Structure 1
Amino acid sequence: MADPFEVLNKSQKAAVKLAMESLRTMRDTAVTGVTAPDELLRQVTELAGALTGLAGVTAQPLQDFIVRQRELAESISALAEAQEQLAGLAADMAEKHAATVTALEKMTAPFFALAGTEPTPPTRRKPTA
């Protein structure tokens, strides 16, 4: 897939080139209007064609750029949904693991009490919700 900024850059260069040609044609038209009115009509027709070409050269790449941006937004949205699901799975696993640790603590507490040991404090703090 082409880089959208590259496509936009190329279309802008083409638009500038067409705009310069149009300005040159307009200048020549002003001179011709005084000296040859029939030629003026032909040049005005050519100018109209050049302006239509300018719009076409600029519009399609810009439209393609916008479509690619929409596709990117949809991809980012899909990624966010996947991350949300993954976060839910991780939270579920953390709850189950905490329940397992609580059960192990209850099962081993009498043994540690008989042995006269103190519980080892956790090395990390509880995460805040």
Structure 2
Amino acid sequence: MADAPLNPIDLLLKSQQAALKLTSDVLRTVRDTAVTGITQPDELAQQVGDLAGAVAGLATGITGLAGATAQPLQDFIVRQRELADTVHTLAEAQAELAGVVASLAERHAEAVAALERLTAPVFAVVGTDPTPPRTRAAKQSAAARSKNRTD
């Protein structure tokens, strides 16, 4: 059965624990080496070799820690780039939709103007006043039409 990939946080914690263990091992070995150098000089060579191995192990632990933190950061950056591309695509689609809606609004305004031209004689005969528009754009359009009629 294949093992599930480790959570990046768990991997980071394990790497930190390994690095701390190696650091404490190195410090203990340095202390022991100093004591042994005084009491047993022949043992000193053996402990210096062990110390070099512990330092190499510490370097490996630090490399593992760097790898454990670098990959999740790289994944995060890739996902942010994908999100930026998705938002850009959405913005393009919204721009296209805005163009379609603007065109629809123009056509609707033309249809309303044609309807007003058709019904104006009927309303004039009946004697009703036009209902004033409620929106700012409609008020501006009505003002422009009434100005054009007086010119």
TM-score after normalising by structure 1: 0.82
Specify every segment of 5 or more residues in structure 1 that has no aligned partner in the other structure, as ranges.
1-9
- For residues 77-88 of structure 1, the aligned pairs below 5 Å read 77-88=88-99
Specify every segment of 5 or more residues in structure 2 that has no aligned partner in the other structure, as ranges.
1-6, 34-46, 139-151
Pick from 14, 17, 35: which aligns with 1:20? Answer: 17
Rounded Cα–Cα distance in structure 2 between residues aligned with 1:100 and 1:127? 16
* Residue 126 of structure 1: aligned partner: 136
Larger radius of gyration: 2
Rounded Cα–Cα distance in structure 1 between residues aligned with 2:137 and 2:120? 24
* Residue 7 of structure 1: aligned partner: none
Rounded Cα–Cα distance in structure 2 between residues aligned with 1:117 and 1:57? 79
**Residue type of the alignment partner of 2:20:** L
* Residue 61 of structure 1: aligned partner: 72
TM-superposed CA distance for 1:127, in Å, is 4.5
Alignment RMSD, CA only?
Answer: 1.9
Identity percentage of aligned residues:
50
TM-superposed CA distance for 1:24, in Å, is 2.1
Rounded Cα–Cα distance in structure 1 between residues aligned with 2:50 and 2:126? 111
1:76 aligns with 2:87: yes
Aligned residues: 119
Rounded Cα–Cα distance in structure 2 between residues aligned with 1:46 and 1:99? 80
Determine if contact 2:15/2:68 at 8 Å carries over to the other structure.
Answer: no
* Residue 40 of structure 2: aligned partner: none
Runs of 4+ off more than 4 Å: none
TM-superposed CA distance for 1:16, in Å, is 2.9
